[in-house]
Amino acid sequence: MGSVDNTNFVSVPEDTPVGASLCSILCSDRDSGDAGSVNLFPFLTDDSSPLSVEQNTTFWSVLLNREVKHGIDSQFSLRLLCIDNGNPRKTTVETLTFVVSRVNNAVPLFEPSGYSVTLSEDVAVGSLVTQLFASVDAEDALILYQMENTDPYNWFMLDQQTGELPNLLELLFQLRIR
């Protein structure tokens, strides 16, 4: 009897609603007639698995039957045994590993909500122009700062970790940043 063992990964965001279909499973064989039909046997690998499996007319659906959280349910598996009706019979074992992914629902708030800076032409290269401050209401939040398409001449480089914005070039005229 031939056999193949494969593992596939399915990402499940932690805010996926209960009852949602996580994936559909269809088994097929290239043989024709009765030898081409395949029997599928799903096995949950853990009694506390948040999965349920339902057979439809032509495929199987894997559903989420309870809430999942990233720190609590890191991953769970479903094993699928597929057996064809050929002679000799061939089997395949597929393992679907569902990985719970974290959802970032904490929005950073800037303090103050806007920044305005005026630089004179004699500001020293490398001196601090301003520093951005943001906070987020989450225990393990990491805030990274980024400027998008606001400095076409690359006069400034925002420090991603600290929010500091130093002057990088010698200025030849007064500059206003909003």
Q: Minimal CA–CA distance to 139: which of 113, 106, 112?
A: 106
Percent of the chain with pLDDT over 70: 87
Assign 85 a pLDDT band (cuts: 50, 70, 90).
confident
For residue 152, pLDDT beyond 70: no
**Count of C-beta atoms within a 10 Å radius of residue 177:** 15
Give the pLDDT confidence of 50-59 residue by residue, as tens digits. 998 998 877 8
Assign 144 a pLDDT band (cuts: 50, 70, 90).
confident
Pairing between β-strand 164-166 and β-strand 128-131 as defined by DSSP bridges: antiparallel
pLDDT-wise least confident of 15-24, 37-46, 80-89, 140-149: 140-149
Please compute the mean of the pLDDT values over residues 120-131 and round it to a whole number.
82
Domains and CATH numbers, the chain: 2-101 (2.60.40.60), 104-178 (2.60.40.60)
Give the pLDDT confidence of 19-67 residue by residue, as tens digits. 999 998 888 788 888 877 888 888 887 778 899 899 887 788 999 999 9
Phi, psi of 93 (to 5 degrees): -115, 120
Q: Say what the pLDDT of residue 2 is.
A: 40
